Amino acid sequence: MAHLGVGIGWRPEIADAVERLSGLDWVEVVAENVCPGHLPDSLLRLRERGTRVVPHGVSLGLGGADRPDPAKLAALGERAVALGAPLVTEHIAFVRTTSPLLEAGHLLPVPRTRDALDVLCENVRIAQDALPVPLALENIAALFSWPGEELTEGQFLTELVERTGVRLLIDVANLHTNRVNRGEDPAAVLDAIPLEALAYVHVAGGVERGGVWHDTHAHPVPPVVLDLLAELRSRVEPAGVLLERDDDFPAEAELAGELAAIRAVVTAGPAASGVASTAGAADSDTDSDTGTGTGTGTEPRPVEESTRTRVALGQAALLSALVAGTPVPEGFDRRRIRVQARALAAKRADVVAKVAPELPVILGGPQAYREAFLSYAKGRPMTSGYRRDALDFAEDLLIRDLPADPAARRRLTTWWQDRAGAKPPRRIVRWARTLVGRAA
């Protein structure tokens, strides 16, 4: 694994500040937020200076019951090539179900069962075969646990690496989140996993409310997370460490201070004697050029469709409870599921407001928008991306003759017409179009 150093998550809101940060070694960009043929000027300037850029995917859902979408894999590979990236990263999570068709809009934990592990391993191998560079997978933060789990986090990650040769992206903030929310010991996870497979490390902030840790990426990195980074550093010298910040961006000096604190931990001293080093990653069972391979030397057996069906049924029942209001499946902590459901709805409202900033303005301000959207979301689970969700929200309002103010309704109608495009209309779209004359 090539040395990356200390980096930061590149976001448009802090692009200028990132370019000015002293001693920055590399950046990570959300893969779905960039277009290979139209890279932001800031990223192009960083690349010209020799700053490495790594695409970080959020929508593959490799832990889902379905096989990876070839189009999404191709898109991720295109971004890796366009950015000249040494690897791409994704998450050990599921994000959608196809029966029923539901989108979480968030990374949800997979059950640590044999069935789920079999499905994940096959999906990872499919992804590795399709991608032009090595793949690394991140452990995610979770608010709840699945009932009936058969493996610990360390066992699950270890077997994943052994069976696929995939690299690991360890998020120490997520280790802390899972300590608070699921009672998992971060040190036990670090002791159990194959650190020679470590690609790099994430560090981020969060906040605790009512005994639940929320991995917000919108708060300063707390000392307890830096302590976990030091725990990891005592075991291995990571090839790279990256600061993530996705919202409530602080002043440039504060970002620089957080990077300095991270750098101080990383450079505190050599890894403990006798433990793994990233320099040994090339000696693992993975292919040093592609990152593919099973780690076992034998061709894995295909996952039976009955296994995928069992995983699909469990994930569909859970996601339906989270976003469609169906009963919580047996064995889950109902209070935690309610907390997660509220968090998903709130995130959905926030992201739609970002991708369609005109909607809060048209609807009379952030509070009026939020109330209207959360009311809509109760009966309309997301079935596609956030941009489609914004259009569906506007259609729903127009069908119900909302907003009540005629001028606002005219503005919303115009906004919707400008963005609906020439796609053959569904029934709900045809209904919305009949309102144009009434709203004009």
pLDDT single digits (tens) 127-182: 999 999 999 999 999 999 999 999 999 999 999 999 999 999 999 999 999 999 99
Pseudo-torsion of CA 340, 342, 343, 344, nearest 10°? 90
Min mean pLDDT across 215-219, 253-257, 284-288, 301-305 is at: 284-288
What percent of the chain shows pLDDT beyond 90? 84
What is d(CA 24, CA 41) in angstroms, rounded to the nearest whole number?
18
Beta bridge pairs of residue 289: none
Dump pLDDT digits (tens) for 386-399. Answer: 999 999 999 999 99
Residue pLDDT, tens place only, 377-429: 998 999 999 999 999 999 999 999 999 999 999 999 999 999 986 444 455 55
pLDDT, tens digit (0-9, with 9 covering 90-100), for 352-377: 999 999 999 999 999 999 999 999 99
Element (H, E) at 202: strand 198-203
pLDDT at 286: 40
Phi, psi dihedrals of residue 191, rounded to the nearest 5°? -70, -30
Structure tokens at 301: 């057996």
* pLDDT band of 285, cuts 50, 70, 90: very low
pLDDT at 289 over 90: no
Tens of pLDDT, residue by residue over 185-204, are 999 999 999 999 999 999 99
Average confidence score pLDDT of the chain: 90
State the Cα–Cα distance between residues 145 and 109, nearest whole angstrom: 8
Q: Residue 290: what pLDDT?
A: 41
Least confident of 58-62, 212-216, 325-329: 212-216
**DSSP state letters, 311-375:** HHHHHHHHHHHHHS-PPPPTTS-HHHHHHHHHHHHHHHHHHHHHH-THHHHHTTSHHHHHHHHHH
Where does the pLDDT of residue 8 fall: very low under 50, low under 70, confident under 90, or very high at 90 and above? very high
Q: State residue 288's pLDDT score.
A: 39
- Check residues 397 and 440 and name the one with the higher pLDDT: 397
What integer is the mean pLDDT of 218-243? 96
* Residue in the structure block whose two tokens are 């991995």: 215
Q: How confident is the model at residue 283 (pLDDT cuts 50, 70, 90)?
A: very low
Handedness of CA 78, 83, 88, 91 (dihedral sign): negative
Residue 276 has pLDDT above 60, yes or no: no
- What residues does 136 pair with on adjacent strands? 89, 167
Q: Which two tokens stand for residue 69?
A: 């979408």
293: pLDDT strictly greater than 50: no
Specify the pLDDT at position 282: 38
Place of tokens 């840790």: 213
Q: Tokens 């144009």 appear where? A: 436
CA torsion, points 46, 47, 52, 54, in degrees to nearest 10? 90
Q: State the pLDDT at residue 294.
A: 45
Q: Provide the CB-side half-sphere exposure for 136 (13 A, CA).
A: 27
State the pTM of this model: 0.89
